[in-house]
Structure 1
Amino acid sequence: MKQALVGARIFTGDKFLDNQVLIIDGDKLIFTAENDNVVHDAGIIDLDGGIIAPGFIDLQVNGGGGSFFTNDTSVSALQTMLDGHRPTGTTSMLPTLISDTRDTHQAGVRAVADAVTSGMSGILGIHIEGPFFDMDKRGAHNARYIREMEPADTQWLTEISGDFATMITLAPEHAHTGQIKTLVEAGLIVCAGHSNAHYEQVMAGIDEGISGFTHLYNAMRPLTGRDPGVVGAAFASDDTWCAIICDNHHVHSGAVRAALNAKPNGKLYLVTDAMSTVGSTQKSFSIYGETIYEQDGALVNAEGRLAGSAIGMIDAVRICHQDVGVELGECLRMASLYPAQYLQLDNQLGQIATGWRADLVHFDNDFNVRNTWVAGAHQSHTSVEST
């Protein structure tokens, strides 16, 4: 039966609309105009206020619901992660593998391929973060896995096939000439991150096809007047995309505003870099045999290094709006439309329009997620509150 959603403001991905109705027919949206035009064969769901927007798309999710993907490269772990993040408004994601063995990464890719084949709607692909990093910028990634890209790595990465996105984060200064180009020509999305590269090295990587930057500012050579570094290259390259963790720990609100001013409109998008504690009652977990603790809203290892985040996407939207001061519509675009555009999926996700997939988030004025839809399937989250 069709679902008719009434009683909430609608954010289409472009603008806010009042006193209108949204029809879901199966897994697709049918956008209608006025409330009195509701089709008679639809079940009416009164949302009683709040905002309904395109479902959030998170391109960097290490874990959730108690599962950590690198530790458990199974299809069931992917479902647990989806279930853990859905109450925070995330309706689709790139599950992310951190630096580990080639076997672990290959197992993760197989799990994603199986999930996509089985029709797990919220899995859009995979993000392989590492291990081709600069040792000094590895962050919480274990040093024993950090290494140069070998021919065997290039071979298996270029052979990844399937109807899903594959994103890889690497340090461009540690890639040999032609390696990045080879990956991009094979269809991978290549991002710079965990890098101590000089500006010229990053720009050479962009010439080979680097199109994005992973968690801007964090674990990358900073911008100074005489040494623009990785951050300077990100700001100077208008066609590249930048992911940013807006959790009040990874990036200062002033730095978020600076990035918004530096990048062309639409090229900065929100990610969580979330770990397994999101959507779970646990406040610690283990990676590489060491325990990571949640401390004052952040996740840190024994050395005090940040080790991912403890937020969901609704928290990133709220912080970006309330603390950074970004207009709400732009925050919502940063959480849905822009990541969809980066993955070239904005013909089906990231907007509310007739024929688009029915991935939606409904939240109240306090940024509590109340309802979500994934491919038209509805869940209520009335007991969930943002952090």
Structure 2
Amino acid sequence: MKKAIRGARIFDGETILDGRALVFSTAGIEAIVSNRHIPGECETIAADGKLIAPGLVDLQVNGGGGLLFNNAPTVDGLRTICAAQVRSGVTALLPTLITDGPDVVRTAIEAGKAAFSEGVPGYLGLHLEGPHLSLARKGTHDPALIRPMTKEDCDYLVDNAGLFGIGLLTVAPENVTRQQVARLKQAGYIVSLGHTDTSAAVAREYRLAGASTATHLFNAMSPLGHREPGVVGAVLADGGFSAGLIADGFHVDPVAMGIALRAKAGPGKIFLVSDAMSVTGTDLQSFELNGRTIYRKDGRLTLADGTLAGADTDLLSCVRNVRDMAGLSLEEALRMASLYPARAVGALSKGRLTPGADADFILLDNNLALSASFIAGENVLASD
């Protein structure tokens, strides 16, 4: 059955439209029409004073609802994480597995296959962040589990490409070869550089081999220097890279955010990620990762030594932050959390509200608080 939402402003992924109605069904977005041209067969929903925007797309979500994906690499764990994230407006996400042992990686991929085949609402695929990273830029990743990518590792990933949805892989040149990157890219993976201390020149070589994104810009990567531009410099200068940004106010200073946004060469874009952990949507004050305790305090998640360990935020909060901290327009802040990440991983039916796109969208009030989340034309927030 077709439905139409009227009375709201509509952000279609590019511009804000007034005096229009959004026509949709479970099959997707049908049209944006003037109120007087709403088809007669539509069920009409009033949303006066609200803003309709594309559902948010989060490419780095470690957990939610009290579960960390590493600790619950099951289809039920994925279902819980996706349901928790929809409460912050995320209608498509890549649950993220942090560096772990080979058995956990394979168990997670099997869970992803099940979630993909079952059509778990919000599930888009998996982000495997490690274990093939740099020890020098390990961040919170367990150094005992970081290792080079073997032929067996690469073969397994290639054999399972596409079976669990979109696959995003964070790797470091220190532990993955250019030939492996090219092979993974050819198999259909999105290859991202992260947790690496490599040079700008090597980062560019890996981009030419097939890497197309960078994981949490500025964090756990070689910095921009005036003689060695590092991975940060390579990502900003090379339009072939897109990059995730954690805009929680702790991982990246607002001044650095603004500089990066002004400096980024296109067509690649900087997009927002939450890097959310299991505490999202809960009152939990600590949790375990690879046998180590992560503490929650004053908006930060850290190991005992103060190392940041993911983020105590959600993607909608990051939208507000880049608008308020970096001075972006509301439209650009929303694009950074919907259109840009969708494009970065080739999910072209997401992040926009044009005919043929998925009917994944959110309703926001004037304070950008969430009123409703629709996935495939159904209000999943109301049914949660």
TM-score, normalization: structure 2? 0.96
Superposed counterparts of 1:4-153, under 5 Å: 4-153=4-153
Match status 1:167 vs 2:172: no
Match status 1:294 vs 2:296: yes
Stretches of structure 2 that go unaligned for 5 or more consecutive residues are none
Q: CA separation in 1, counterparts of 2:70 and 2:87?
A: 22
Aligned to 2:305: 303
Aligned to 1:223: 224
Offset at 1:277? Answer: 0.9
The 8 Å contact of residues 23 and 33 in structure 2, kept in 1 or not, is answered as no
Offset at 1:379? Answer: 3.5
The 8 Å contact of residues 11 and 52 in structure 2, kept in 1 or not, is answered as yes
The 8 Å contact of residues 87 and 381 in structure 1, kept in 2 or not, is answered as no
Tell me the secondary structure at the aligned position of residue 219 of structure 1. Answer: coil
Q: CA separation in 2, counterparts of 1:273 and 1:148?
A: 24
Q: 1:84 to 1:242 in 2, by over 3 A?
A: same
1:285-322 Cα distance to aligned partner (Å, 9 max, x none): 11112221221111111111110011111101000101
The 8 Å contact of residues 214 and 241 in structure 2, kept in 1 or not, is answered as yes
Superposed counterparts of 1:259-274, under 5 Å: 259-265=260-266, 267-274=269-276
* Most deviating of 258-267 and 363-372: 258-267
The 8 Å contact of residues 30 and 355 in structure 1, kept in 2 or not, is answered as yes
The 8 Å contact of residues 61 and 93 in structure 2, kept in 1 or not, is answered as yes
The 8 Å contact of residues 148 and 175 in structure 1, kept in 2 or not, is answered as yes
The 8 Å contact of residues 173 and 201 in structure 1, kept in 2 or not, is answered as no
Q: CA separation in 2, counterparts of 1:293 and 1:7?
A: 44
Q: 1:330 aligns with which of 322, 329, 332?
A: 332
Q: CA RMSD in A?
A: 1.6
Tell me the secondary structure at the aligned position of residue 293 of structure 2. Answer: strand
Q: CA separation in 2, counterparts of 1:368 and 1:3?
A: 23
Q: CA separation in 1, counterparts of 2:177 and 2:27?
A: 44
1:313-352 Cα distance to aligned partner (Å, 9 max, x none): 1101000101111111111111111111112222x11110
Q: CA separation in 1, counterparts of 2:193 and 2:245?
A: 13
1:236-281 Cα distance to aligned partner (Å, 9 max, x none): 2111111100110100111111111121355111000110111223
Q: 1:236 to 1:320 in 2, by over 3 A?
A: same
Aligned to 1:342: 344
Tell me the secondary structure at the aligned position of residue 346 of structure 2. Answer: coil
Q: CA separation in 1, counterparts of 2:208 and 2:224?
A: 20
Stretches of structure 1 that go unaligned for 5 or more consecutive residues are none
Offset at 1:177? Answer: 4.4
Offset at 1:101? Answer: 0.6
Superposed counterparts of 1:150-229, under 5 Å: 150-162=150-162, 164-229=165-230
* Most deviating of 196-205 and 364-373: 196-205
The 8 Å contact of residues 2 and 41 in structure 1, kept in 2 or not, is answered as yes
Q: Which amino acid aligns with 2:333?
A: C
Q: Calculate percent identity across the aligned residue pairs.
A: 38
* Most deviating of 208-217 and 26-35: 26-35
Aligned to 2:3: 3
Q: Which amino acid aligns with 2:335?
A: R
Match status 1:372 vs 2:373: yes
Offset at 1:33? Answer: 1.8
Structure 1 residue ranges, 4+ long, deviating more than 3 angstroms after superposition: 379-382
Tell me the secondary structure at the aligned position of residue 43 of structure 2. Answer: strand
TM-score, normalization: structure 1? 0.95
